[in-house]
Structure 1
Amino acid sequence: MQGERPSSAPSTVLGRQLGDELRTMRERVGLTTTAVAVELDCTKGKISRIENGRSPVRGPDLAAMLRLYGADEPAVHERLTELARSANKRRKAGWWSQYGNVLAETYRDFIALEAVASSVRTFQSQTIPALLQTPDYTRALAVASRSWSDPAEIEQFVEARLMRQHRLIAEDPLSVWVVLAEGAVRQQVGGPAVMRAQLAHLLTVAEMPNVSVQVVPFRVGAHASMAGPYVILGFPAASALDVVLLDNPSGSMWLERSDEVKAYVGLWNDVRTKALSPVESLELIRSIEELGT
Structure 2
Amino acid sequence: MLSPERNAQMMTDMQAATPTMCRLQLGSELRQIRLKAGLTSTQVVRKLLWSPSKLTRLETGDNAAVEPSDIMALCQVYGIEEETAERLKEYAAVTKTKREWWQSTTFRPLLGPGARAILGLESSASVVHTYQSDYVPGLLQIADYVRVIHQHAHGGHPDEDIDRMVELRIRRQDALRREPPLKYVVVVSEAVLLRQVGGPALMRAQLAHIIEAASEPNIKVQVVPFKAGVHRSMNGAFTTFRFREDTALKPIVHLEHLADHWVMRREADVALYEDAFNDLQTLAPGPQESLSLIEKAMKEL
TM-score normalised according to structure 2 size? 0.76
Contact 2:187–2:224 at 8 Å: present in 1 too?
yes
Q: Which amino acid aligns with 2:175?
A: R
> What pairs up with 1:29-108 in 2 under 5 angstroms?
30-33=36-39, 43=48, 49=56, 50-53=58-61, 57-59=66-68, 68=81, 80=91, 85=95, 93-97=99-103, 98-108=106-116
Q: Structure 1 residues 130, 19: CA separation in 2 closer, same or farther (over 3 Å shift)? A: same
Relative to structure 1, the CA distance from residue 196 to residue 53 in structure 2 (aligned partners, 3 Å threshold; closer, same or farther) is closer
| Cα distance between partner residues in 2 of 1:198 and 1:107 | 23
Q: Give the superposition deviation at 1:61.
A: 6.6
How far residue 276 of structure 1 moved from its aligned partner, in angstroms, is: 1.1
Q: Is the 8 A contact 1:120 1:231 kept in 2?
A: yes
Q: Could you tell me how far 1:167 is from its partner in structure 2?
A: 0.8
In structure 2, list runs of 5 or more residues that go unmatched: 1-19
Match of 2:270 in 1: 261
Tell me the CA shift for residue 242 of structure 1. Answer: 1.3
Shift of 1:20: 2.6
Contact 1:136–1:194 at 8 Å: present in 2 too?
Answer: yes
Return the match for 2:176 from 168, 173, 185: 168
Q: Residues 52 and 166 of structure 1: is their aligned pair in 2 closer, same or farther, counting only changes over 3 Å?
A: closer
1:274 lines up with 2:280 in the alignment: no
Is the alpha carbon distance of 1:269 and 1:70 closer, same or farther for their aligned partners in structure 2, counting shifts above 3 Å? farther
Identity within the alignment, %: 35
Match of 1:198 among 179, 203, 206: 206
The residue number in structure 1 matching 2:12 is: none
Give secondary structure in 2 for the equivalent of 1:233: strand
User: Residue type matched to 1:95 in 2?
Assistant: W
Counterparts in 2 of 1:143-182, with a 5 A limit? Answer: 143-182=151-190
Offset of 1:164 from its aligned partner?
0.4
Structure 1 segments, 4+ long, off by >6 Å, are 44-47, 69-74
What is the rounded CA distance, in whole Å, between the counterparts of 2:139 and 2:262 in structure 1? 19
Aligned residue number for residue 297 of structure 2: 288
1:95-244 equivalence runs, <5 A:
95-97=101-103, 98-236=106-244, 237-244=246-253
Task: Call closer, same or farther: CA 1:286–1:238 in 2, change over 3 Å.
Answer: same
Structure possessing the higher relative contact order (Cα contacts under 8 Å, 6 or more residues apart): 1
Deviation (angstroms), 1:272 = 1.3
Any conservation in 2 of the 1:246–1:253 contact (CA below 8 Å)? yes
Question: Cα distance 1:190–1:77, how it changes in 2: closer, same or farther (>3 A)?
Answer: farther
Distance 1:70 1:32, change over 3 A: farther
Shift in Å, 1:145: 1.2
CA shift for structure 1 position 248:
1.2
C-alpha change, 1:52 and 1:124, in structure 2 (3 Å) is closer
- Corresponding letter in the other structure for 2:109: N
Displacement of 1:113 in angstroms is: 2.1
The alpha-carbon deviation at position 271 of structure 1 amounts to 1.2
* RMSD across aligned positions (CA): 3.5
**Aligned 8 A contact 2:26 2:92 in 1:** no
Q: How far apart are the structure 1 equivalents of 2:181 and 2:33?
A: 26
Aligned to 2:10: none
Q: 1:99 to 1:57 in 2, by over 3 A?
A: closer
Check 1:142–1:32 CA distance in 2 against 1; reply closer, same or farther (3 A cut): same
How many residue pairs were aligned?
267
Q: 1:44 to 1:269 in 2, by over 3 A?
A: farther
The residue type paired with residue 136 of structure 2 is I
CA contact (8 A) 1:181 1:217 kept: yes
Task: Give 1:120's aligned amino acid.
Answer: V
Q: Name the CA shift for 1:43/1:105 in 2 (closer, same or farther; >3 Å).
A: closer
Indicate how the Cα distance of structure 1 residues 54 and 165 shifts in structure 2: closer, same or farther if over 3 A, else same: closer
Offset of residue 121 of structure 1: 0.5
Offset at 1:14?
8.4
